[in-house]
Amino acid sequence: DAKTTQPPSMDCAEGRAANLPCNHSTISGNEYVYWYRQIHSQGPQYIIHGLKNNETNEMASLIITEDRKSSTLILPHATLRDTAVYYCIVRGALKTSYDKVIFGPGTSLSVIP
């Protein structure tokens, strides 16, 4: 079973911020929160990851609650090209933990003109 829960779908108006929530109440102290997205007919694409501090890069911002049991991915100005399935994943810091990575069904984000 996936270690995260996400809403199955969300809509967002073009140009507005898209806030995608993720619950990971069983996250352990050394596990990171990762976000990927998958545009139709393409492979997943890494977006961002974090441990406990908020993170920002050119694609998105990641807000992690103080108890680390949930997080929110923020796309500040959503465009039609951001329409995709967004996956929230928890995994350890070591690359060897990739064998324990479980992708859930994700959130299907639709950006509406």
Query: How far apart are the C-alpha atoms of 90 and 11, rounded to whole Å?
Result: 24
Does position 106 interact with another protein (CB under 8 A)? The reply is yes
Q: Which stretch binds another protein (CB under 8 A): 19-27, 59-67, 70-78, 100-108?
A: 100-108
Residue 47-76 contact track with another protein, rule CB under 8 A, x = bound: --x---------------------------
Using CB under 8 A, pick the residue from 18, 27, 34, 73 that binds another protein.
Answer: 34
Per residue in 71-81, is it b (16+ CB within 10 Å) or e — as a string? Answer: bbbbbeebeee
Dihedral angle sign, alpha carbons of residues 55, 78, 47, 31: positive
The residue (of 67 and 81) whose beta carbon lies closer to another protein is 81
Rule CB under 8 A: choose which of 26, 45, 54, 79 binds another protein.
Answer: 45
Does 87 interact with another protein (rule: CB under 8 A)?
yes
As a dihedral over the C-alpha atoms of residue 87, residue 91, residue 93, residue 98, rounded to 10 degrees, the angle is -90
DSSP at 5: B
